[in-house]
Structure 1
Amino acid sequence: MESGTDSEYDVIVLGAGAVGENVADRAVQGGLTVVIVEGELVGGECSYWACMPSKALLRSAQVLRAARAVPGAAEAVTGELDVQAVLARRNSFTSNWKDDGQVEWLDSAGISLVRGHGRITAAKEVTVTAADGSATVLTARHAVVVSTGSDAFVPDIPGLREAGPWTSRDATSTQSVPASLAIIGGGVVAVEMATAFAGFGTAVTVISRSGLLTTLEPFAGERVAEALREQRATVLLDTKTNQVTRTPDGVVLELVNGTRVEAEQVLVATGRTPRTGDVGLEAIGLEPGSWLETDDTMLVRGFDWLYATGDVNNRALLTHQGNNQARAAGDVIAARAKGAPVSDAPWGTHVATADHQAVPQVTFAEPEIASVGLTSAAAREAGYDIRVVDYEIGQVSGAKVRADGYRGTARMVVDERRKVILGVTFVGPDVSELLQAATFAVVAEIPLDRLWHAVPAYPTVNEIWLRLLETYGRPA
């Protein structure tokens, strides 16, 4: 569409990341006209700076470690990781930061695109400013959807901003690898990038004010910290950074415990902040820069036309959860526009119920962590009467075949009253492939006595399910 042309659509979507694309696609499939507004690359954070490039950076070293854990294959591994080849493969996953293919998909799906910065300027109205300064006014007949995502949060540490720190975008798009890297933070981005760069041979130092991965079961972060140290990374826990100084050779971090860390570069991985500071929220009475609270159909509370999907609603900052929200939102917008029935009861067609207690997540660290549902601590806090069942995955025959010295732990959190699983956590090599079965069990609330009849194939790592059930005890 040419800038400067005023147009009306059924739905306007701000943000052409994976989530925005899914909202638009579902609404179009529901018979509505949709325009998507994007000021950067179509495909968004996940395609170019998050999910895909980060996993591409991690995969090669993961394969190398796996080969070295199996005699026969280990003897065949005679060289070291080719870092430039890893970076080149990563570049291919981002299409070298070009979005031609994504734009072609929008066109094939019947979704219009306006490039530029979109701001809400009135109810159901968005003004898009293009790079050349020209403006396009868009009007929505039914809905405006904010899917602008989130940015890395940079804490107010003296000297940090002046030091020009990396954020996750810099780390995942770098074309060269620093000799040393300090990472401030202990969450998913911190441990994944620590794992990736340690695999490249970078001297990594992780600095966390508490532990690692503290929202997960405690043994998950403990095992990752141990594995990072085994990769010769330095892991400093229960401390924080007081001061950062840029020097001719890199950066110096002064910690509260008196430790001094020197590195070529520093990466900030301390959380996310909503990308809503300049999308026009003030024009409709909302606070700029705020998270947008929604109901389960993704309708922003207090509005009948404004929706928020993905990171901006702060429900579950994961691409797959955002995509699930997007499908619900696109479908419900179409249903409401046509006056069709809305299925908004829990687990209905038009809601993202899974956001509350059934979120699956994989942390692609060394070892992998796959989890879904509630941790034991979260379940107790929610008032459930629970029983926690642990089992060492390395004792399963399939794990022994997969790698010599396989180390891993599985935890199952059971609701004792209803005899269903509230949460599952796996820690170990390749445990991401176990997660979907756990997700089925949690989402469907499959009774334990029925799970006994889901017989795992032998010898596979999935036999862990049988061992967890045996440890819990077969019903009479």
Structure 2
Amino acid sequence: MTTENIRTYDVIVIGAGPVGENVADRTTAAGLSTVVVESELAGGECSYWACEPSKALLRPALFRADAAHIPGLASAVAGPLDVDAVLAHRDRMSAHWKDDGQVEWIKSAGIDLLRGHGRLAGERQVTVETPDGDAVRLRARHAVAVCTGSRAALPPLPRIEELRPWTNREATSAHQAPERLVIVGAGVVGVEMATAWQALGSSVTLLAREDVLLPRMEPFAGELVTERLREAGADVRFGVSVTDAKRADGAGEVRIRLSDGSELTADEILFATGRAPRSTDIGLDSVGLTPGDWLTVDDSLTVTAVPGEWLYAVGDVNRRALFTHQGKYQARVAGAVIAARARGEQLDTGRWAPHSSTADIEAVPGVVFTDPTVASVGLTARDAERLGRDVEVVDYEIGHLAGAVQYRPDYRGRARILIDRDRQVVVGATFVGPGVEELVHSATVALTGEVPVERLWHAVPAFPTISEVWLRLLETRSNS
């Protein structure tokens, strides 16, 4: 039996991942009644199938790689990883795929949680199909925020569903290491999962359509990651794609044909070939938008194609920056915008204002947790050339630092900064090497704060640390 009831809130949020939770937290803190609608697990993709479980799989592999090169520790880590222990740690970090803790937090913040599939149903209206078949109709006095995120995009191979392929979800939640794993895709998910599962005992073949891994980053990043993957035993192939794949008898091994005419056989195949918006079945057509599209927003995170300044798209679904941390940043901005408009205030839209999302375009930090680690923010040299920006490129070998040698005697890594010649500020930075993930925030501060290069000389790094690379980069520039 289906019943219908109507509930009215100031704000409706569709999606209870990190982004939706942060929007709801900000609007609730501003005194606006808020409900968040979730069809899966509160906490979203990051908590259960992406950030948390993937790093839980990777940390033991990376720690062992470092320890194996430190005098006095190499013999202690010479054996294989305890796969069961690593997977058990992954399960704990993923809360065993139960969202009790997230639900408790949502309720403690004064936010209502409604489980079910939410769909827009016209201006400021959302219909929720609950798990028990009821239809709940929601009305928003002020705003509806779409925070539905993204999903793995699969290639258009014939009968791909019969393959039962892995996406990031299966790759981060698998309960045993496949003997043979083929990974299709040269981006972050592909290289991270190649690093993790190779270390956990799988024989990994990584297929890249491009001629380098991590093609959106500085080329040396992909080159160093390739070198280490191959040293670890992975088969990395460039310039190839999958033309056909079949799973024997519907449940057996996967037979794969490649564009170069060669064939592979695997137990599992992971497609890490990009992301698509979760917007196919959320009622976009009811407000004049096309189902399945990315949602275009302005710097206030307001959907530009819908009049009335009531519909917001925050996080992956707007395609500005597909990172959890950037989505949460957008959520803080969107929450401030919704609250200001609800109070009838004039928005402060200045570049550094709380009502303007700019860091998701100008200074997006990212870390790839491979061996070696890759961390970057801002432009690459290729980006600068494409945009016609006049930049000075400064490189330094991180392994020359005393702090790096202390970290790992055979340290291999490289740093690059881009300096805008006209403004004399850093506009891009890339670091590759063990431990460099902790360098990226200093670079982000330099970019966001537009710190003059001459002023950076007075930010003195402690010795001996890898952070000393900042001083060496400036010295390299002065001596060139």
Q: Give the TM-score band, short-chain normalised.
A: over 0.9
Greater shift, 379-388 or 91-100, is seen at: 379-388
Tell me which residue corresponds to 2:456: 451
1:336 alignment counterpart: 341
| Residue 427 (structure 1) aligned to one of 432, 445, 448 | 432
2:274 corresponds, among 271, 274, 277, to: 271
Q: 1:437 to 1:177 in 2, by over 3 A?
A: same
- Pairs within 5 Å for 1:31-180: 31-180=31-180
1:231 alignment partner in structure 2: 232
4+ runs deviating over 3 angstroms = 2-5
Partner of 2:288: 285
Aligned counterpart in structure 2 of residue 309 of structure 1, from 314, 317, 324: 314
Partner AA of 1:70 in structure 2: I
Q: Assess if the C-alpha contact under 8 Å between 1:3 and 1:114 holds in 2.
A: no
Q: Does 1:379 align with 2:365?
A: no
Structure 2 CA distance for aligned equivalents of residues 380 and 414 of structure 1: 13
Deviation at 1:78, TM superposition (A): 4.8
The answer on whether the counterparts of 2:48 and 2:97 sit within 8 Å (CA) in structure 1 is yes
Between the aligned residues of both structures, percent identity stands at: 53
Alignment of 1:395 with 2:392, yes or no, is no
The answer as to 2:25 corresponding to 1:25 is yes
Q: Report the CA distance shift for 1:3/1:327 in structure 2 as closer, same or farther (over 3 A).
A: farther
Kindly report which structure 2 residues correspond to 1:403-418, keeping only aligned pairs within 5 A, or say none.
403-418=408-423
- Residue 298 of structure 1 and its aligned partner are, at CA, apart by 0.3
In the alignment, is the contact (CA less than 8 A) between 1:32 and 1:334 conserved in 2?
yes
Partner of 1:202: 202
**One-letter amino acid of the structure 2 residue matched with residue 349 of structure 1:** P
Q: Cα 1:402–1:3, aligned 2, differ >3 Å: closer, same or farther?
A: farther
AA at the equivalent of 1:300: V
| 1:260 counterpart residue number | 263
Note if contact 2:68-2:78 (Cα within 8 Å) is conserved in structure 1.
no
Amino acid at match of 2:287: I
Amino acid at match of 1:202: S
* Letter in structure 2 aligned against 1:240: S
Gaps of 5+ in 2: none
Does the aligned pair in 1 maintain the 2:373–2:432 contact within 8 Å? yes
Partner-residue secondary structure (3-state), 2:140: strand
Q: Secondary structure at 2:121's aligned position in 1?
A: strand
SS of equivalent to 1:471: helix
Kept after mapping to 2: 8 A contact 1:195/1:365? yes
| 1:69-89 CA-partner distances (Å, limit 9, x unpaired) | 101121333532001100000
Q: Does structure 1 retain, via aligned residues, the 8 Å contact 2:296–2:305?
A: no
1:238-249 equivalent positions in 2, closer than 5 A: 238-248=239-249, 249=252
Task: State the alpha-carbon separation in 2 of the partners of residues 195 and 322 from structure 1.
Answer: 26
- Aligned residues of 1:311 and 1:317 also touching (Cα < 8 A): yes
Pairing partner for 1:473 from 439, 455, 478:
478
In the superposition, the TM-score normalised over structure 2's length comes to 0.97
- Give the whole-Å Cα distance in 1 for the aligned partners of 2:257 and 2:369: 29
Deviation at 1:93, TM superposition (A): 0.8
SS at match of 2:56: helix
Aligned length: 474
Q: Secondary structure at the match of 2:155?
A: coil
Give, in angstroms, the shift of residue 383 of structure 1.
1.8
Partners of 1:160 and 1:226 in 2: CA distance: 31
Rounded to whole Å, the distance in 2 between the matches of 1:277 and 1:223 is 38
Letter aligned with residue 190 of structure 2: A
User: Normalising by the residue count of structure 1, what TM-score does the alignment of the two structures yield?
Assistant: 0.98
1:463 is matched with: 468
Residue number in structure 1 paired with 2:184: 184
2:215 matched to which residue of 1? Answer: 214
Report which stretch shifted further, 377-386 or 401-410: 377-386
CA contact (8 A) 1:457 1:463 kept: yes
